[in-house]
A and B are shown apart, each in its own frame.
Chain A
């Protein structure tokens, strides 16, 4: 069964750091583009960033709101991806989802499979 499981969320003070993990099972994560998506309490969905697949050298893209503060990395040996979040702000409070894209006709359609999410609360 294809599954994504996030972990690492919690309460952190403004200015602090947190690293989220996303462990994949049932498939090889290295074959897929992946995106982090977040949802603030009672809010809409926001794209955070993307890591392309191994063939594309795991290159990354980020939303302007997190660029320079967040970074995505991978560990093929653990079939996992990470979101390192630094200089956290109260507006980063959200549920963070790990998602993978589906390749259809050579195009990578984002957010085909979702994890259950992990909650990050930034508060003093």
Chain B
């Protein structure tokens, strides 16, 4: 199975900061990667699909990049409502696999 390594597992940041989260695949996955956001007690929500396409309704401060084995989620200017846990999801082959998650906390 293809393994996904997400980093960092947690981070502290301030409102207005630029935040970058990375997922690395153990082998190439083309653009078969999505990003999800989950707030405490809430259902996950997709932010990015196909590595870099913004889900409808998601603010433009969120962006995704990468292809092959390394992928990045960037929040250009962190807002108070962005404090949450973020997951990558690899879906180019079965089994689908999530990264371990990145918890973004308030500094």
In the complex, are the beta carbons of A46 and B98 less than 8 A apart?
Answer: yes
Select which of B1, B36, B97 is within 8 A of A111 by beta carbon.
Answer: B36
Considering only residues 25-71 of chain B, those with a C-beta below 8 Å from chain A are: 34, 36, 38, 43-46, 49-50
**1/0 per residue A55-91: CB within 8 Å of B?**
0000001111000000000000000000000000000
Number of A-B contacts (CB under 8 A): 53
Chain B residue numbers with a CB within 8 Å of A47 are 89, 95-98
A-B contact pairs, 26 of them (CB 8 A): A35-B96, A44-B87, A44-B99, A44-B100, A45-B38, A47-B89, A47-B97, A50-B96, A61-B95, A62-B95, A64-B95, A97-B43, A104-B49, A109-B46, A109-B50, A109-B91, A110-B34, A110-B89, A110-B96, A111-B89, A112-B46, A114-B44, A114-B45, A115-B43, A116-B43, A117-B43
CB contacts (< 8 Å) of A110 on chain B: these are 34, 89, 91, 96
Say what secondary structure dominates the interface of chain A. Answer: strand
Partner of B87, one of A35, A45, A112, A117: A45
A64 to B2, CA, bound (A): 13
Q: Which residues of B have CB within 8 Å of A109?
A: 34, 46, 49-50, 91
Chain B: CB-nearest residue to A43: B101
Report, nearest first, the 5 A-B pairs whose CB atoms are least far apart.
A47-B96, A114-B43, A45-B98, A61-B94, A44-B101
| List of A residues within 8 angstroms of B44 by Cβ | 45, 97, 111, 114
Chain A's interface size range is 20 to 34
Q: Name the distance in Å between A40's Cβ and chain B's nearest Cβ.
A: 12
Give the CA-CA distance A114 to B55 in the complex, in Å.
Answer: 15
In the complex, what residue of chain B is closest to A35 when comparing beta carbons?
B96
A64–B45 Cα distance when bound, in Å, is: 25
